[in-house]
Amino acid sequence: MPRVSKIILVCEGWRDSSFGRGFLVAAGVDPRAIESRANRAGSGHDWVKRRFAEEVANLKRFSEGRGVLALLDEDGRGIRAREDEVEGHLKARGLLPVSAEDGRCLLLPTRNMETWLYWLTAHRNSSPIEVDEVIDYKRMGPPSGAQRIRNEDCRPAGKALHALDHTRPPQGCPPMLVRALGHLRAFLKAVSR
């Protein structure tokens, strides 16, 4: 992979950061080029939206090879509503909208990151499960046939995502996960030089 100068990873918490880092490293990004900005308090939608806009504003000051990647749980609010909230923060600062192709990438796990973690962990272990992007697995517990997600499952799940082909996703792959993988591929292309 061509050299990436810096990727700022803006996340709600440690699990999201570990997942994102797992994907990026599996994609060939030097771990030293990844700077995580995780909300230490965890679950901080407003914090992620504000921080994403701040980090996008900082992109103007630097040369190519840089990007900002944010993970923000949809949490039953609706994809369009979450996208509009983030776009509002960018617009308030006079910044261009989210565009993975331009190094400003937003991933919206539905319903939350746990949906993706459960599916990817089961897929990685060759024990496929069905997930529903409406169910809150963070509160309701694992889907039928799945073991509870552990912190150490997050980075391998990110690596498993990198191994998927977004043009031919496996059966049962959550639609927003397929969309996210497409955005991630475009993002990596944009920030590589």
* In the predicted structure, residue 8 carries a pLDDT above the cut 80: yes
Domain that holds residue 186: 6-191
Six token digits for residue 152: 């150490």
CA separation, residue 183 to residues 46, 62, 98, 137 (Å): 22, 22, 11, 24
* In the predicted structure, residue 83 carries a pLDDT above the cut 80: yes
pLDDT, position 61: 82
| Confidence tier at 67 by pLDDT (50, 70, 90) | very high
Residue range 61-73: mean pLDDT, rounded: 88
Please state the domain count of the chain. 1
Query: Could you tell me if residue 1 is inside a domain?
Result: no
Query: Could you tell me if residue 103 is inside a domain?
Result: yes
Amino acid at site 130: E
pLDDT, position 62: 76
Query: Could you tell me if residue 183 is inside a domain?
Result: yes
* In the predicted structure, residue 64 carries a pLDDT above the cut 90: no
Q: How confident is the model over 136-182, as pLDDT tens digits?
A: 999 999 999 999 999 999 999 999 999 999 899 999 999 999 999 99
Query: Could you tell me if residue 21 is inside a domain?
Result: yes
Of 42-46, 58-62, 105-109, 176-180, give the lowest mean pLDDT range: 42-46
pLDDT, position 31: 96
What CA–CA distance (Å, rounded) separates 149 from 62? 38
Query: Could you tell me if residue 20 is inside a domain?
Result: yes
For residue 65, with 0-12 CB atoms within 10 Å meaning exposed, 13-18 middle and 19 or more buried, which class applies?
middle
Query: Could you tell me if residue 115 is inside a domain?
Result: yes
pLDDT, position 124: 95
| Confidence tier at 39 by pLDDT (50, 70, 90) | confident
Strand partners, 71: 107
Query: Could you tell me if residue 140 is inside a domain?
Result: yes
Q: Which residues of 119-139 are buried (b: 16+ CB within 10 A; e: fewer)?
A: bbbbbeeeeebebebebebbe
pTM: predicted TM-score of the whole model, two decimal places: 0.94
Of 54-68, 92-106, 116-130, give the lowest mean pLDDT range: 54-68
* Residue 38 half-sphere exposure toward CB, CA atoms < 13 A: 15
Q: Which residues of 4-31 are buried (b: 16+ CB within 10 A; e: fewer)?
A: bebbbbbbbbebbbbbbbbbbbbbebee
